[in-house]
Amino acid sequence: MKISYNWLKQYIPKAPDANKLVDIFNYHLCEVETAEKKLDGDVIFDLKILPNRAHDLLSHQGVARELASLLNIKYVDPTPKYKIPESKSTNLLIEIKIDKCPRYMGRIIRSVKVGSSPDWVVKHLESIGQRSINNIVDAANIVMFDCGQPTHAFDLDKIKGGIMVRDAQAGEEIVTLDNKEIKLKNFHLVIADSKNVLALAGIKGGKIAEVDENTKNIIIEVANFDPMSVRKTAQALNIFTDARKRFENNLSPELGSYAMRELSALIFEMCPGAIFEDIVDTYPKKQKEKKLSFSANRISDILGLDVSVTTIKDILKRYNFTYDLVVGVPLGTPTTKFLMTVPPMRLDLEIEEDMAEEMARILGYDKIKGNIPKISFKPKQNETYAKICWAKNRLLSDGYFEVMTYTFCDKGEVEVQNSASDKKFLRTNLTDGLKESSKLNQLNALFLGINQVKIFEIGTIFKKTGEEMHIAYGDKKEIKETTLEEFVLENSSSKEHGYFSAEKFLVLAPSRFQVSFKEDFLLQKKNKNSSLKPLLFQMWSLFPFIARDIAVWVPENVKSSEVKNIIKKNMGDMVIRGPELFDEFKKGNQISYAFRLVFQSYDRTLTDIEVNENMIKITNKIKENNDWQVR
Amino acid sequence: MTDENKQKGTMHPFSRLTNQAYQAFSDMGFEIAIGPELENDWYNFYVLNFSKDHPALDMQDTFWIKNGKHPGSAVLRTHTTTVTARAIEQAGKAGRMPCAFISIGKVFRNEATDITHEMQFFQIDGVMVGEDISLADLKGVLTLFYKKMLGENVEIEFRPSFFPFTEPSIEVFAKFKGKWLEMMGAGMLHPNVLRNIGLDPAKVQGFAFGGGLDRIAMIKWGIPDVRLFYQGDLRLNQF
């Protein structure tokens, strides 16, 4: 939801500066996705209003009211300033035919003049990324972004008879304001006159009764629709509108009265010659008053923070929440319970836990200090995890490298209904993925510095009969796959097998597990004491590498490190691996050292020619030593 | 020089992280829980107080299974909260209260992939239930956890959030190398969830948390692209 700072300030003139507000939002209300500074000094916040507050915070007034209470600053109520002329009697008929419309308010306004909007309206709309259309449509939009209630205006002269809220009949049609023809189904909720469907209730208006430049008389609609029904209809038709977003989050029908007043005043401001008729308010499902009971003790217990009765009283006062205090003496000690009347707009407040969240959010979660709980619980060994660890350690020490591959593939026994990718099946084995992985890693064997690519994966596979935990391992010649159970059964001794259900499996599988920890610890220690860089991922180059070997005969008293140093000094800056001594043997009083170098660039494909140049440079340097010889 | 039979293999970064995380939580008294990747909609959604019309049930987020034994009811789990929910339900039936469980496993979301989104990723999920478990306990546990995972200097903080299965709900942020990063969602288990798994919210309360393991790996080691994890590429095994 885009919220303009200047717009907010109309209601809370004492609002802190925009930078401070960003923190206040993030820590006490909801995430600020962006805060964009405008040339005219305004700041536009894009707020990620949380779903449980979407019914009262998708509006400037809603956010301003919340901030006023949160920060204990003045909220300027705009309603006394609204000017609406005395209304005349009306013959507008409104009929609600179904139970999915708790309230429908309508009002005829005659002799309006459709034209452009005043500057402030255009500016308000543009500040939050909306386009000005004409004064009547703009007025309806301003009301929605200001108080949160979607409204609509129909051209009265294009309507036959009264207004009806009903389910569509299968086969009926509507052309929406954006010129889309829609065939309706019987669960779609619509607004209709005696002949035609005029609008998709709470979602989008129709072309038939559109307000245009020739419109003289209008009906304004301020209604409340069942959230599930709006959502179902909009979803089926794949229509996303600001109205839908608000209705599907459940608005309070009480909001209607405010919105009707605001919309009427706005239209009067834009069309001073307009004649207002009486409001027709059909309100079959009046919102019931809700009471909520909670105690300071319980809230403190949930939060792990002492929240006193006084603190709660102060917050309730700031939020204009009315309450009674009920003092009970259940076990001799008096306890104070709050019995609060939930304001109609706060549909999210239902249970004591909701009030715990209110208190924590308003006070700030930083007030809660961490505590390590001590509980009397005896954890059991997880047998599956113990087996996974055992199998992993077994294969790692046998020289197998672990990989993970995708669960999705293009054929199998279990299929997903819909997917963002073209791979709609779940794997029936690990072997297929492992084969691909093996091919890829063969190509990089020299880069990786491994002689033989041996890999494994432990993971879930999916068959018609259900899922199974499998293990697959192998090399380029052969891959073996079996269930984890079988693998463990076949490869472990009976004594080892008993450990899987033992109390503490760390006794069983210490090797890899604890070594990693020690390594980490040592590394961290090292980093503290020296300026070594922390352990960080090194992204590989996407260009091909070239590997070269060089073997040198030297007198037997020459150490390999001497040869290595000369290679290092002359190999250039494209070596990403090596020189690595991979072979040495003695013959007479001479010794041969063989080194491997891997060349690769991060920004281009290296050519044989440039790598050869480097190799020649190394060879020449080595030859400068009389009794050294490159093989 | 190298005897090929003596060369030891390396593990996938997730295995390493999983071991570390399990160790950290085991030290704090949590029991490891593992559960199915193919779930029914009860454990994936409804037990967790999602209502039937919750947007998360929309096709774009969830992988529903075609022609299952019970059509429409089987899903690829969208979080490992399914596992911890099953675990506390079992513990409750067995009279093992208070209790604490930790589960790390693969989860699935039906969304387009990019450098920070994958259709499959790993989630770490934990719960602790008892008579007086509070949000302060959650803060203590997660602070210790992130210190063990990311280093002693790490701080954490809570910010407001919303989840159907927790009340209050919070977002957990960790300060790593001077920046506040969003790490996981958490909160106090909603009374409806406790009721759904056969516990009495008047007698017990508890916290729950869940977040991506992939994200911890990417932050901890500076891995730039989440898609690198599932290529079967050994160049990833650097740790």
CATH code, domain carrying A426 = 3.30.930.10
Judgement on whether residues A202 and A268 belong to the same structural domain of the protein: yes
Query: For residue B96, what pLDDT is reported?
Result: 96
Mean pLDDT across A390-418: 92
Residues of chain B with C-beta less than 8 angstroms from the C-beta of A537: 221-224, 238-239
Instruction: Tell which residue, A281, A376, A516, A370, has the closest CA to residue B10.
Output: A516
Structure tokens at A336: 């104070």
Closest to A414 (Cβ–Cβ): which among B14, B65, B100? B65
B128 touches chain A (CB under 8 A): yes
- In this structure, are strands B74-76 and A629-630 parallel, antiparallel, or unpaired? unpaired
B2 touches chain A (CB under 8 A): yes
Closest to A404 (Cβ–Cβ): which among B141, B222, B230? B230
Query: For residue A165, what pLDDT is reported?
Result: 96
B153 touches chain A (CB under 8 A): no
* DSSP state, residue B236: G
Interface of B with A in 59-98 (CB under 8 A): 59-60, 63-67, 76, 96, 98
Residues of chain A with C-beta less than 8 angstroms from the C-beta of B31: 377, 379-380, 382
Residues of chain A with C-beta less than 8 angstroms from the C-beta of B223: 537
Place A476 in a pLDDT band, splitting at 50, 70 and 90: confident
**What domain count does chain A have?**
5
Q: What is the CATH number of the domain that holds A351?
A: 3.30.56.10
Residue whose tokens read 């040198």: A552
Judgement on whether residues A260 and A322 belong to the same structural domain of the protein: no
Judgement on whether residues A554 and A587 belong to the same structural domain of the protein: yes
The span from the CA of A58 to the CA of A144, in Å, is 9
The span from the CA of A411 to the CA of A398, in Å, is 32
**Angle CA A226–A224–A12, to nearest 5:** 120
The span from the CA of A428 to the CA of A412, in Å, is 6
Q: Is A144 helix (H, G, I), strand (E, B) or coil?
A: helix
- Encoded amino acid at A248, one letter: E
Tell me, yes or no, whether A411 lies in a domain.
Answer: yes
Instruction: Inspect the interface and report whether the beta carbons of A357 and B96 lie closer than 8 Å.
Output: no
Instruction: Inspect the interface and report whether the beta carbons of B120 and A407 lie closer than 8 Å.
Output: yes
Closest to B66 (Cβ–Cβ): which among A28, A372, A417? A417
Q: Of the residues A339, A367, A395, which one is the last residue of a structural domain?
A: A367
The DSSP line for A467-486 is EEEEEEEE-SS-EEEEEHHH
Residues of chain A with C-beta less than 8 angstroms from the C-beta of B191: 351, 353
**Among residues of chain B, what percentage have pLDDT more than 90?**
75
Judgement on whether residues A485 and A617 belong to the same structural domain of the protein: no
Query: For residue B71, what pLDDT is reported?
Result: 53
Residues of chain B with C-beta less than 8 angstroms from the C-beta of A370: 136, 139-143
Cβ-contact B145, B21 below 8 angstroms: yes
CB pairs under 8 A between A and B: 274
Beta bridge partners of A276: A109
Residues of chain B with C-beta less than 8 angstroms from the C-beta of A361: 160, 168
B50 touches chain A (CB under 8 A): no
Cβ-contact B47, A433 below 8 angstroms: no
Residues of chain B with C-beta less than 8 angstroms from the C-beta of A401: 9-11, 234, 237
B151 touches chain A (CB under 8 A): yes
Instruction: Inspect the interface and report whether the beta carbons of A303 and B58 lie closer than 8 Å.
Output: no
Query: For residue A503, what pLDDT is reported?
Result: 56
Closest to A29 (Cβ–Cβ): which among B15, B64, B160? B160
CA nearest to A397 within chain B:
B8
Closest to A366 (Cβ–Cβ): which among B33, B111, B157? B157
ipTM: 0.94
Tell me, yes or no, whether A520 lies in a domain.
Answer: no
Cβ-contact B87, B64 below 8 angstroms: no
Query: For residue B112, what pLDDT is reported?
Result: 87
Judgement on whether residues A454 and A602 belong to the same structural domain of the protein: no
Q: What is the CATH number of the domain that holds A191?
A: 3.50.40.10
Judgement on whether residues A353 and A489 belong to the same structural domain of the protein: no
In angstroms, the separation between the Cα of residue A404 and the nearest Cα of chain B is 5
Instruction: Inspect the interface and report whether the beta carbons of B224 and A537 lie closer than 8 Å.
Output: yes
**Angle CA B8–B14–B15, to nearest 5:** 45
Tell me, yes or no, whether A138 lies in a domain.
Answer: yes
CA nearest to B100 within chain A:
A377
In angstroms, the separation between the Cα of residue A248 and the nearest Cα of chain B is 10
Q: What are the structural domains of chain B? A: 13-236 (3.30.930.10)
Quick check: B70 pLDDT over 90? no
Preferred mutation among B63, B88, B220 to probe A, highest tally of A CBs within 10 A: B63
Cβ-contact A216, A157 below 8 angstroms: yes
Quick check: B55 pLDDT over 70? no
The span from the CA of A135 to the CA of A263, in Å, is 11
Beta bridge partners of A580: A596
B35 touches chain A (CB under 8 A): no
In angstroms, the separation between the Cα of residue A546 and the nearest Cα of chain B is 16
Place A501 in a pLDDT band, splitting at 50, 70 and 90: low
H helices of A72-134, in order, are 119-127
Judgement on whether residues A461 and A362 belong to the same structural domain of the protein: no
Beta bridge partners of A48: A31
Cβ-contact A248, A201 below 8 angstroms: no
Residues of chain B with C-beta less than 8 angstroms from the C-beta of A402: 9-12, 15, 237
Preferred mutation among A362, A375, A527 to probe B, highest tally of B CBs within 10 A: A375
Q: Please, what's the b/e burial string for B195-222 (b: 16 or more CB within 10 A of its CB; e: otherwise)?
A: ebbebebeebbbbbbbbbbbbbbbbbbe
* DSSP state, residue B39: E
Q: What is the pLDDT of residues A315-367, one digit of tens each?
A: 999 999 999 998 876 666 677 899 999 999 999 999 999 999 999 999 999 99
Q: What is the pLDDT of residues A181-231, one digit of tens each?
A: 999 999 899 999 999 999 999 999 999 999 999 999 999 999 999 999 999
Instruction: Inspect the interface and report whether the beta carbons of B233 and A301 lie closer than 8 Å.
Output: no
Preferred mutation among B49, B149, B162 to probe A, highest tally of A CBs within 10 A: B162
Query: For residue A631, what pLDDT is reported?
Result: 82
Closest to B7 (Cβ–Cβ): which among A419, A450, A462? A450
Residues of chain A with C-beta less than 8 angstroms from the C-beta of B132: 301
Query: For residue B165, what pLDDT is reported?
Result: 94
Query: For residue B101, what pLDDT is reported?
Result: 97
Instruction: Inspect the interface and report whether the beta carbons of A384 and B34 lie closer than 8 Å.
Output: yes
The span from the CA of A441 to the CA of A434, in Å, is 10
Closest to B139 (Cβ–Cβ): which among A51, A228, A370? A370
Judgement on whether residues A327 and A391 belong to the same structural domain of the protein: no
Query: For residue A573, what pLDDT is reported?
Result: 87
The Cβ of residue B2 has, within 10 Å, a number of other Cβ atoms equal to 13
Q: Of the residues A254, A282, A310, which one is the last residue of a structural domain?
A: A282
Q: How far is CA A362 from CA A24, A79, A175, A310, A358, in A?
A: 10, 27, 47, 14, 6
CA nearest to B159 within chain A:
A27
Strand ranges inside A133-257, DSSP E: 151-155, 163-167, 173-175, 181-183, 189-192, 197-200, 204-205, 218-224
Mean pLDDT across B106-132: 93
Instruction: Inspect the interface and report whether the beta carbons of B1 and A437 lie closer than 8 Å.
Output: no
Judgement on whether residues A126 and A264 belong to the same structural domain of the protein: yes
Averaged pLDDT score across all residues of chain A: 90
**Range with the lowest mean pLDDT among A5-14, A69-78, A317-326, A440-449?**
A440-449
Residue whose tokens read 């790593």: B176
Judgement on whether residues A125 and A23 belong to the same structural domain of the protein: no
Instruction: Tell which residue, A202, A197, A214, has the closest CA to residue A163.
Output: A197
Instruction: Inspect the interface and report whether the beta carbons of A418 and B64 lie closer than 8 Å.
Output: yes
Tell me, yes or no, whether A238 lies in a domain.
Answer: yes
Preferred mutation among B233, B236, B237, B238 to probe A, highest tally of A CBs within 10 A: B233
Structural domain including A558 reads 546-630
Tell me, yes or no, whether A521 lies in a domain.
Answer: no
Q: How many CA atoms lie within 13 A of B61 on its CB side?
A: 10
**Range with the lowest mean pLDDT among A33-37, B39-43, B70-74?**
B70-74
Residues of chain B with C-beta less than 8 angstroms from the C-beta of A584: 1
Tell me, yes or no, whether A328 lies in a domain.
Answer: yes
Judgement on whether residues A305 and A257 belong to the same structural domain of the protein: no
Quick check: B8 pLDDT over 90? no
Tell me, yes or no, whether A530 lies in a domain.
Answer: no
CA nearest to B96 within chain A:
A377
Torsion of CA A202, A208, A211, A216, to 10 degrees: -130
Quick check: A526 pLDDT over 60? no
Judgement on whether residues A490 and A388 belong to the same structural domain of the protein: yes
pTM score, two decimals?
Answer: 0.89
Instruction: Inspect the interface and report whether the beta carbons of A370 and B136 lie closer than 8 Å.
Output: yes
The Cβ of residue A189 has, within 10 Å, a number of other Cβ atoms equal to 25
Place B68 in a pLDDT band, splitting at 50, 70 and 90: low
Closest to B15 (Cβ–Cβ): which among A27, A354, A392? A392
B161 touches chain A (CB under 8 A): yes
Cβ-contact B185, B79 below 8 angstroms: no
Residues of chain A with C-beta less than 8 angstroms from the C-beta of B113: 420-421
The span from the CA of A299 to the CA of A107, in Å, is 46
Instruction: Inspect the interface and report whether the beta carbons of A375 and B29 lie closer than 8 Å.
Output: yes
The span from the CA of A452 to the CA of A361, in Å, is 57
Tell me, yes or no, whether A613 lies in a domain.
Answer: yes
Closest to B26 (Cβ–Cβ): which among A379, A512, A535? A379
Residues of chain A with C-beta less than 8 angstroms from the C-beta of B151: 524
B23 touches chain A (CB under 8 A): yes
